[in-house]
Structure 1
C-alpha cells in the first residue's frame, strides 16, 4: 500500500471522528454572562441624577445672576437711566484684580477639569442622551459653551464685593460640593476607561468646590468686619504703595565683589534658584499668569491620569493572562530565549515573558513620572522668567525682553492674544506632556531591551555585537578628536603670552588637510548629536511660552511665543502698578474724600483722567499731581504713550530725566 493511500485513509478516520460533533464549540451553551464578566461594573443610579442636578442648579444660577444684577449693578449705576440698567456681572477683573485670587483659580479649575472629563464622555450634555457619533460631536461644541455659563455665578458672586454676593456664593458652592461628593460616594466606579477614572478625574473638581465652600464664608465674615476699614485696605491697593516704595527707596551702594571665578557649588546653587520661584518684596505676579500656571498644573494631572489608567491596567491584564501558547509564539520569533531542546516553552519561558511585560510597565511609569517632574520644573522656571520680563518692561527695558524695538500699546492682535493666553498655556502643557511621554517611553524601552535585558539574560546582544565590530571606527574618531585638541593646546598656540598667539602655521595647515576625511565623519556624528539635542530641547521646553523654539529672526512664526509677547504688551500697558497708583492719586485730587472712598471700577476712570488735562481746582493739588505724574513717566518710559503732553511740558520746564531706578 502506497504512502498516499495511507494518508487518505488517515484523513478519512479523522473526519469520521469529528463528523458527529465538529460544531461542538458553536452549539455549546454560553452559560451565564455574569459568570463570564465577573469584573463588569453594574449600572449605578445616584439619588440625585446627573441631568436633574444640572437642571436644578442651572435654574438657581440664573436666579442668582438676575438677583445680583438687579440689586448690585442697579445700585452702583443709578446716575443715568441707561447706565443704571441691569447688566451681566463681570466674572473676573483680570487687569484690576489685586485682592483675593482663590475664587478665580478654583472656578477656573472646576471649569477646566469639567472640560477634560467632557472630551471622553459619551453624553457631553447632561440633558441629552445620544447614540450617533455625528451628533455627539455637535453636542460637545455646545457643551464647551454650556459649562462656562453653568459655573458663571460661582465666580461672579465674588466679583460684586457685596454681602449678598457672598451669601449666594456660599449657597451655590455648598450645593455643588454636596451633590458632587454625594454622587461619587454612591457611585465611585464607572465603566469608562477604568473603573476609578471618573472618581480620580473629579478629585480636582471636588477640591476646588471645597475651597469655594470654605472661602465664601470667610469672605462673608470679613465683609462684616470691614466697616471700620478704609476702601483702600478693603480693595487691597496696598500693593501699589509697596511697589512705589520699593522702586523709590534709597538703596545702599552695592559692595564690590571679588572677580574670582565662582565655585562649582555656587554656580549649581544659582542654577537651582533659577527654577525655584520665591516671593519678592514689592512685586506681585498678575492674576492671569497665576491662573495660567494653575491651569497648566491641572493639565499635567489630567493628562498623566489619562495616560496612566489607559496603559497600566491593560498591560497588567495582559501580563496576568499570558499562557504558554502566547509564550510559544514569542519563542518562535526569537523574542524570548528557550533552553529547551524541543523549543517548547516551559515555566521558565512563561516567567520570562511576564518579566518582559512587567519591564514595559516599569518603563511607562518611569517615563511618565520623569515627564511630569520635568514639566513642573519648566513651569516653575517660566514663572521666574515672567517676573524678570515684567520687571524689565515696568522700567522700560523693552530691548532686554523682545530683542528688538516694540511699542507697548494696544492692538487688535495683542488683545486677542491676551484673551487666548491662559488657554494656550493649558493646551501647550497637555501637548508637551504627551510628546515627552511618547519620546521618553520609546527611549526607556529601547535602553531596557537593547542593553539591560541582554546583559541580564545573555541573549540578543545586537547592540554589543555592533559596537564590537565598530570599535576601530570609534577609536579612530576619539583619537583624532583628542589629537586635534592636544595639538591646538600645546603646538599651535604660543604659551606664556596673553593674549595667546598662533604659531607653527605650516604644521597647522598640514594637520588640517590630513584630518579632513576624519573630520567629515566627526561632523556626521556632531550633526546627529545636534539633531538630538535640538529635538530634546524643544520637547522639554514645548510648554514654556516665554521662550521661542525658533531663532530670533523667525520668532513671529512661533504662535506660543507670539501670544506671550502680545500678552506682555497688554499687561504692562494696561496694568502697570505705577500707573494704577497715580491714577488713584488723580482720583483723590479730583474728588473730595467721602466716607466710601474710591471704588473698584474707578481705576479705569483714573486712566481716562491720566490721558486728559487736569480740571480746574486747587493749584496746590494740581501741581502735586502733575509733579508726581511727570516723575513717574520719566522713570517709566513704557507709560509715555499715555501722557505725551505731560512729558513735553516737563521737558519744556528743563526737567531732565534721571537715571532709571530698577
Structure 2
C-alpha cells in the first residue's frame, strides 16, 4: 500500500518499538521488473497447458485436436471454490494498487492521452502473469497442477521477499507485520501446500478416457451419483414437505436465547443448510475482505504513529514552556500555552476520531459482505423459483447486456468495495470530528450553538406535534374501526382539517426536504459498496452501472446453474450413456428376441413420455397454451421454409430454361 504511505508521509521515530517502517530497503522483486520478466514463463506455461488439452470440436485433424482452448476459471461451477478464492486472495495487494494508486506494469513518459492505452496493456500483462495459476487449477490434470504449483511458489517467494525480508525491526514489529498480512499469507500458504498435494494425487489417480467419463456397472450407480450431487439434493428437497415451524419458546431464558439468535442472524449472517455458493462469489468476497483488512490495518498503524508523534511533540513543547502559569509571566507565553493545550486536546480527540471512524467503517463493510452473501443466496433461490421482485426483469434487458453485466460484476464489486470503504470512512470522520470540536471548543461555541438551538427548536417541536396529531386523528377520528379498514369517517371534518393542513404542510415540507437530501446522501454513501441495492429509484436502475452488472450476473447464474435444469440434463445424459452401453452389449450378442425386447422397451418409453406430457398439460393449462403457440409458430416456419424452397426451385428452373433458350438461339445463329 505504497500510495497510503506517500499520502500520509509519516515521520518515523526509531525509538518506537512498534514502528513498522524503520528504513525503506529496496524490494528484492521490484514490481514492474517482476511482472515483465514473468511474461516469458507465463506464455510458455500457457502453451504447454494448451497442447496438453484437446479441442472438443476438432475441425482441423492436426495433432489429435491439439492445442486446445484453455480457460482460467469456470464462472458457473462450484468446484475448487476455496482454491480459486485463495488464488484471488493473492491478488489483493495488486488490486489495491490498481484501485487506489493506478499501478502500471511499466513506466511511461509520453503524452498524457495515451495513458489509457498504458492501463490496458498493464491489465493484459497482469492477466497473463496469473493465467497459468488459474488455468492449472481448472485443468485438473497433473501438468496443470505442476505448473500451478510452480507459479504459486514463485508468487509466495515474491510476497515473502518484498514484505518480510526487511531490515531488523524487533519482535513486536514483526508480529504486527504478520498480523497485518495474515489473510494474504494464509492464501499463499494454502496454495503452496494444497497444489503439490493435488499434483501427487492426480499422478496416483488412473486417467479415464472420455467415453468412460462416468464409470458405472449399472444404471443404478449412475442415477445414484446424480441423486447425491448438489443439484440432486436441491431437487430432492423440493419434493419434501417443509418441516413444521418451531414451537414458540417457553420461559424467560428460551425467549432471551431465541431473540438474541434472531438478532444476530439479522445483523450478521443466517446459514441455509445445503446451499453452496459459486466459486466466483466466494472469490470476490475473499478478495474484498482481504482488501478491507489490509487497508484498515495499514491505515490504523500509520495513523496511530502519526498522532503519537504529534502528541509527543506537543508534550515536549508544553514541558519546555511549563504547564502552569507563573507569576509575572509574559502574556504571549500564557496565550501560547492556552493554544498549545487546546491543540493537545485536539490531537488526542482527533486520534480517537480517526481510529474510531476507521474501525466503524471496517466493521460496517465486513457486515455488508455477510449481508451481501445472504442477499445473493435469497435472490438466486427466488430466481430459481421464477420470482423476480428485486432485480431488473430479464425481459427488459437484452441477452448481450446480461452477459456484459456478468463479465463486469467481479471487477466492479472489488472497485466499489474499495472506494465505498474510503467514502464511508471520510463521512464518519467528518461526523466524529464535528462532535469532538463541539465538545472541546464548547466554551467558545456554546453561545452560538444555544442561539441556533433556540431558533430551531420551535420548528422541530411544531413539525413533531403536527405529524403526531395527523396520525392520531387519522386513526381514531377519520377512519372507521380505529384504522383497521380503509373507510372514511367524519368526512366533513376530514375535509376541513385537510384544507387547513395544506398551509401547515408547506411550512413542514421545507424541513422535510432538507431531511430527504440528508437521508439520500447518508444512505447513498452507506450502500455504495453493495451492488445488490441500487442507489437510484426503480425506474432509473438501468443508469446504475453497479446494480446493472449485478443483475446481469444473477440472471446468468440462475439461467445456467438452475438445479432442476441441471438434474434434467444429467438424467438425459444418463439415459444416453445407458442406451449406448446396452447397444454395445447388443452388438456383441445379437438375436431376434433382444431386438423385439428393445422395440417393446422403446414403445413403452414413448407411451410413458406421452402420458407424462398429457398429465403435465392437463394440470398446467398455461403450459398447454404456450405449447400450442410454440407448435403453431414452428408449423408456420416449416410452411415458410417449404414455400421459399419451392419458390427458389421455380426460379432456378426458369433461369435454367432461359439459359437453354439463349444457347439454342446462339446455335441457330451459328
Q: Same fold (TM over 0.5)?
A: yes
Q: Which residue is 1:62 aligned to?
A: 43
Q: Does 1:106 align with 2:86?
A: yes
Q: Which residue is 2:367 aligned to?
A: 377
Q: Does 1:562 align with 2:554?
A: no
Q: Cα distance 1:340–1:628, how it changes in 2: closer, same or farther (>3 A)?
A: farther
Asked whether the equivalents of residues 630 and 647 of structure 1 are also in contact (C-alpha less than 8 Å), the reply is no
Correspondence for 1:574 among 560, 576, 579 = 560
The alpha carbon displacement at 1:538 in A equals 2.1
CA distance in 2, matches of 1:513, 1:37: 69
1:248-263 maps to which residues of 2 (within 5 A)?
Answer: 248-251=239-242
CA distance in 1, matches of 2:607, 2:198: 37
Q: Cα distance 1:122–1:44, how it changes in 2: closer, same or farther (>3 A)?
A: farther
Give CA-to-partner distance per residue, 1:379-408, whole Å, 9 cap, x none. 32222122122112212234x34475x449
CA distance in 1, matches of 2:89, 2:600: 49
Correspondence for 2:278 among 270, 275, 286 = 286
Q: Which residue is 1:466 aligned to?
A: 452
Asked whether the equivalents of residues 54 and 64 of structure 2 are also in contact (C-alpha less than 8 Å), the reply is no
Q: Does 1:181 align with 2:160?
A: yes
**Aligned pairs, how many?**
564
Q: Which residue is 2:230 aligned to?
A: 239
Asked whether the equivalents of residues 86 and 283 of structure 2 are also in contact (C-alpha less than 8 Å), the reply is no
Q: Cα distance 1:539–1:620, how it changes in 2: closer, same or farther (>3 A)?
A: farther
TM-score, normalised via structure 2 length:
0.69
CA distance in 1, matches of 2:102, 2:544: 35
Q: Does 1:167 align with 2:146?
A: yes
Which consecutive residues of structure 1, in runs of 5 or more, have no partner in the other structure?
Answer: 1-35, 328-338, 596-615, 650-662
CA distance in 2, matches of 1:73, 1:582: 27
Asked whether the equivalents of residues 53 and 70 of structure 2 are also in contact (C-alpha less than 8 Å), the reply is no
The farther-off stretch of 523-532 and 355-364 is 523-532
Q: Cα distance 1:476–1:244, how it changes in 2: closer, same or farther (>3 A)?
A: closer
Q: Cα distance 1:160–1:340, how it changes in 2: closer, same or farther (>3 A)?
A: same
Q: Cα distance 1:218–1:622, how it changes in 2: closer, same or farther (>3 A)?
A: farther
Looking at both structures, which has the greater relative contact order when contacts are Cα pairs under 8 Å and sequence separation is at least 6? 2
TM-score, normalised via structure 1 length:
0.70
Q: Which residue is 1:84 aligned to?
A: 65
Give CA-to-partner distance per residue, 1:345-397, whole Å, 9 cap, x none. 35454233112022122112211222222222223222212212211221223
Q: Cα distance 1:313–1:141, how it changes in 2: closer, same or farther (>3 A)?
A: farther
The alpha carbon displacement at 1:142 in A equals 2.6
Asked whether the equivalents of residues 578 and 632 of structure 1 are also in contact (C-alpha less than 8 Å), the reply is no
Q: Which residue is 1:22 aligned to?
A: none
Asked whether the equivalents of residues 111 and 147 of structure 1 are also in contact (C-alpha less than 8 Å), the reply is no
The alpha carbon displacement at 1:627 in A equals 7.8
The farther-off stretch of 476-485 and 412-421 is 476-485
Q: Which residue is 1:453 aligned to?
A: 440
The structure carrying a bigger helix percent of its residues is 2
The alpha carbon displacement at 1:164 in A equals 2.6
Q: Which residue is 2:539 aligned to?
A: 553
Q: Cα distance 1:199–1:123, how it changes in 2: closer, same or farther (>3 A)?
A: farther
Q: Secondary structure at the match of 2:194?
A: helix
Q: Does 1:619 align with 2:607?
A: no
CA distance in 2, matches of 1:358, 1:502: 60
Q: Secondary structure at the match of 1:591?
A: helix
Q: Secondary structure at the match of 1:67?
A: helix
The alpha carbon displacement at 1:541 in A equals 1.5
Asked whether the equivalents of residues 363 and 441 of structure 1 are also in contact (C-alpha less than 8 Å), the reply is yes
The alpha carbon displacement at 1:529 in A equals 2.2
Which consecutive residues of structure 2, in runs of 5 or more, have no partner in the other structure?
Answer: 1-10, 15-20, 209-213, 216-221, 250-254, 320-328, 582-598, 633-670
CA distance in 2, matches of 1:590, 1:415: 31
Q: Which residue is 1:144 aligned to?
A: 123
Give CA-to-partner distance per residue, 1:509-550, whole Å, 9 cap, x none. 665566655443333222222222232222222222222222
The alpha carbon displacement at 1:159 in A equals 1.0
